């Protein structure tokens, strides 16, 4: 499936929506202000670069166990002395979990079930 960036509709959400909680009778702002945590919530909720998000998802690929094995097979085709070795012995990162990978500004970014490299780098 081929997507163009302009076809994506990005929905920006706040991980912690204190205004919505206050509207529903649970005003926690005073507690967090007393602990001087409002700047932290500002970082969590703020700004989202929609262009980077669109670039990421248009170029995203699934990296699973099958893709990991294919990557190892390609290395073996290039250098036959690597046959029978583990990923670590080939100088590759071990396969931990399924990931979504995307090349963005010549920097590889990944996100997976237990990994948040992309989300740590860019609010989203």
> 3-class DSSP state for residue 63?
strand
Distance CA(65)–CA(80), nearest Å, equals: 21
For 59, counting Cβ atoms within 10 Å of its Cβ (0-12 exposed, 13-18 middle, 19+ buried), the class is: middle
**In this predicted structure, what is the pLDDT of residue 123?**
36
**In this predicted structure, what is the pLDDT of residue 120?**
35
> For the whole model, what pTM was predicted?
0.52
pLDDT digits (tens, 9 = 90+) for 77-101: 999 999 999 999 999 888 888 888 8
pLDDT of 9 over the 90 cut: no
Q: How many CB atoms lie within 10 A of CB 1?
A: 2
**In this predicted structure, what is the pLDDT of residue 26?**
92
Strands annotated E in the chain? 61-63, 99-104, 107-112
pLDDT digits (tens, 9 = 90+) for 20-60: 889 999 999 999 999 999 888 888 877 777 888 888 888 88
């Amino acid at each position: 499936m081929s997507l163009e960036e302009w076809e994506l509709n990005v929905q920006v959400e706040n991980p912690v929506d204190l205004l919505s909680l206050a509207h529903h009778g649970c005003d926690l702002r005073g507690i967090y202000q007393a602990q001087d945590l409002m700047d932290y919530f500002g970082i969590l909720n703020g700004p989202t670069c929609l262009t980077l998000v669109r670039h990421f998802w248009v170029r995203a690929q699934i990296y699973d166990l099958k893709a990991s094995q294919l990557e190892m097979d390609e290395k073996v085709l290039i250098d036959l002395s690597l046959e029978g070795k583990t990923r670590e012995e080939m100088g590759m990162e071990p396969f931990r979990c399924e990931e979504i990978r995307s090349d963005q500004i010549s920097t590889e970014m990944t996100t997976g079930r237990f990994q948040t490299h992309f989300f740590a780098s860019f609010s989203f």
